[in-house]
Amino acid sequence: MLSPPQDPPACINDLPNELLERIFSYACTDGGFTGRSISLVSKCAHRNARPVRFRNVSLSGYRQIESFLNLLDKERLVTPIRVHNLYISTWTDGEEITKVRNGQPPRWDGLHPYLPSPIPTDPQWRVWMVLQEAVDKKLAELIFRLLLNVAPTLHALSIVHSWEFGAIHIPPCLPFLKDFTFCGPPPHMECKLSSSPPSLPDLKRLHVICWNVSIACWLYHAPGMTSLRLSDVSYSACTLPCELQTQIGIFVRASGPSVFPKKHHSLRHIRIQPRGVPPSWSGTPSAGHEFLLQLQRIRPIAGIRFELMQERVYRYGYWGDRIKNDWLNAIVSAPEWWTEGEVQEEGGDAMISIPEDDEDPAALERPLSHWAQQL
């Protein structure tokens, strides 16, 4: 008896291109590793993964940023590339600059082209200053160029910019950006309120990690913002209580209430996490405690939810790790910055106590900018 004819084995190449692209979009939910891996499977997979492999991109250091920009130019000759979620970090570059300043050789050869030739041996500050200036200029140029390239399709952006470098420039317009997390020196945005249009017209949620943050420019450039979070805020942000009064319509209760007209009509949720005052803090304690007292006096007007979180001192490098993890989680779910309770904030391994003994080896390895933020 003859057996019925067998169907040929199914092959991925037999699936419609639209279905393959949909499948790959569910797989490419990391910073780009899965998309690169899929594109190496076959010519068919490479062709169908192209539109989705660049939707979520994670870049660390100027070498990755520069390589991605070169790749982007080549890929766009073949098919439109739309980056929806972007993570940028210059933290490792800052650590290498710190090593050079402390008289140690960098861990990788990427910085060598920027070193002066011949390399002076004394003093080491000459090497550091030349290197820092060159890398800072290179990073500022690359990041601005990258943001300009992806601006038309960008929905979520997280930037961890090392304090070893200067402020970066935000492009004139990121029209569809809805979630923005920024850690580092306050970026430069045009703030001529009478002439320049908002750079972030569609932004809904903003998280800024900066010890000397100011919010006036952010609020101008994000008129539709509904949620604002400020983390690691120190008393150096001495104008913050006043800005909350005049820009958002929150009043500070001292001897009596002082109500200000509400100017930012869309804002509904404010969450502030102040930087704790460590036991070994050598500054003027009254300044830090007075700033915290001003924040505690804040009472919101109707329609705005205000949260003052517990003051904390985090371990070195905590925010870089936290921002990267939350960026990855936000690709497939809502950003965790706004969850109730903030369970991650209470993690025992996240917080530290600054040692009173300045000879502690782990303390001496921290960059100078880390200690400058404590003062």
Calculate mean pLDDT across residues 84-112: 81
- Give the tokens for residue 145: 């160029």
Q: Residues 138-194: pLDDT tens digits?
A: 999 999 999 999 999 999 999 999 999 999 999 999 999 999 999 999 999 876 555
| Residue 309's pLDDT band (cuts 50, 70, 90) | confident
Calculate mean pLDDT across residues 61-79: 89
| Residue 353's pLDDT band (cuts 50, 70, 90) | very low
Q: Residues 28-52: pLDDT tens digits?
A: 666 666 766 766 666 766 666 676 7
Helix, strand, or coil here: 314? strand
Angle in degrees, CA 365, 121, 133, rounded to 5: 65
- Give the tokens for residue 144: 């601005």
| Residue 17's pLDDT band (cuts 50, 70, 90) | low
pLDDT at 298 over 60: yes
- Give how far Cα 294 sits from Cα of 69, 86, 124, Å: 45, 36, 43
CB-based contacts of 185: which residues, under 8 Å, 6+ apart?
161, 163, 165, 166, 167, 168, 210
Task: Tell me the residue ranges of DSSP E strands in the chain.
Answer: 56-60, 85-89, 156-160, 179-183, 205-209, 227-233, 251-252, 269-274, 298-299, 305-308
- Give the tokens for residue 80: 């439109």
DSSP 169: B
pLDDT at 13 over 70: no
pLDDT at 368 over 60: no
Distance of alpha carbon 89 from alpha carbon 65, whole angstroms: 9
Dihedral sign for Cα atoms in the order 116, 119, 124, 126: negative
pLDDT at 231 over 90: yes
pLDDT at 328 over 80: yes
| Residue 81's pLDDT band (cuts 50, 70, 90) | confident
Strand partners, 75: none
Question: Which helix or strand (DSSP H or E) is residue 23 part of?
Answer: helix 17-27
The pTM score is 0.79
pLDDT at 237 over 80: yes
Strands 205-209 and 156-160, how do they pair? unpaired
pLDDT at 238 over 60: yes
pLDDT at 209 over 80: yes
Calculate mean pLDDT across residues 229-236: 92
